[in-house]
Amino acid sequence: MRQKISRRTLIKGGLLAGACVPALGLLANEASAAGLTPLSPSDPTAVALGFVTNSAKVDAKKYPTHTAAQHCGTCAQFLGKPGQARGGCNIFAGHTVPATGWCSAWAQKP
C-alpha cells in the first residue's frame, strides 16, 4: 500500500536534508585536511609565487609592496583557524603552509 505524505512532512524533510548538506561538507573538509602535506619552498608553484616560510625573509627588492603585517595567517587564502601554526591554502591545494609564511598571492582577509 502507498502512504500519502503530507505537504508539511515533505517540507520538513526537505529543510532537514538541506541543513545536513553543509554539515557533510565540513566533515569532508576535516577529513581531507588530515591528508595535507607541508608545502616545500622548492615546489614549482611556490617558487613562481615567491613563497617563503617566514615572511620576514621576503626579498624586499623583488617584492617592494610586502609589509611586515603580510603573512599567511592574515591572508584570505589561508584556511587555518586563527592562532593555528599551519593551515591549508586555496593557492597551494593539497598542502599546508605556516601561518608565518608569505607568497605574492597574499590578499588581506576581509
Cα-to-chain-centroid distance, residue 104: 16
For residue 72, count other CB atoms closer than 10 A to its CB.
27
Name which of 49, 46, 101 is nearest 75 in CA terms: 101
pTM: 0.68
CATH placement of domain 7-98: 4.10.490.10
Rounded Cα distance between 100 and 71, Å, is 5
Rounded Cα distance between 17 and 42, Å, is 44
Q: Where are the domains of the chain?
A: 7-98
Per-residue pLDDT for the chain (110 aa), expressed as one digit of tens each? 677 878 887 677 777 766 656 655 544 444 455 689 999 999 999 999 999 999 999 999 999 999 999 999 999 999 999 999 999 999 999 999 999 999 999 999 98
For residue 82, count other CB atoms closer than 10 A to its CB.
10
